[in-house]
């Protein structure tokens, strides 16, 4: 049930994205679902939706991310995703990140919560 919601975050209509984010937020209240949602790869699409979604989608994403941060590993991954997004907005930083060999560890952190 989680994977289709994650797919909607990226490829659904604006309303579908809003609904997927609120559904993930509701599921993330449960500790077992927090782990499952993070392991299914939802953190990155949620973070991406913060930049491109409607105001309602952004509000729903904020709720989902808040609920996911209860798990310490998810909190680390969410912070890493946000930091990477901010750094990667600058062309010089993009080059420095790549030259430092940081891309693969950051991807691992986003995917699993550990680098």
In the predicted model, is pLDDT for residue 52 greater than 50?
Answer: yes
Q: Would the pTM of this model clear 0.85, i.e. be above it?
A: no
The CATH number that applies at residue 17 is 1.25.10.10
pLDDT band at 30 (very low <50, low <70, confident <90, very high): confident
H-type alpha helices, the chain: 2-11, 14-27, 31-39, 43-52, 55-68, 72-88, 91-99, 103-112
- Residue 109 is encoded by which pair of tokens? 């952190």
- Res 57: pLDDT: 92
In the predicted model, is pLDDT for residue 17 greater than 90?
Answer: yes
- Percent of the chain surpassing pLDDT 90: 30
CB neighbours (10 Å) of residue 69? 16
- Res 115: pLDDT: 47
Q: Which domain holds residue 87?
A: 2-112
Q: How many domains in the chain?
A: 1
- Residue 83 is encoded by which pair of tokens? 């930091």
Task: Please tell me the distance from the alpha carbon of residue 5 to that of residue 114, in angstroms, as a whole number.
Answer: 24
């Amino acid at each position: 049930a989680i994977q289709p919601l994650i797919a909607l975050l990226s490829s659904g209509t604006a309303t579908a994205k809003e609904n997927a984010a609120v559904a993930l937020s509701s599921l993330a209240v449960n500790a077992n679902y927090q782990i499952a949602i993070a392991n299914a790869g939802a953190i990155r699409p949620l973070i991406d939706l913060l930049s491109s979604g409607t105001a309602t989608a952004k509000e729903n994403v904020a709720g989902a991310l808040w609920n996911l941060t209860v798990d310490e590993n998810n909190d680390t991954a969410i912070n890493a995703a946000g930091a990477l997004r901010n750094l990667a907005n600058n062309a010089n930083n993009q080059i420095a990140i790549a030259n430092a060999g940081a891309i693969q560890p950051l991807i691992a952190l986003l995917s699993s919560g550990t680098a």
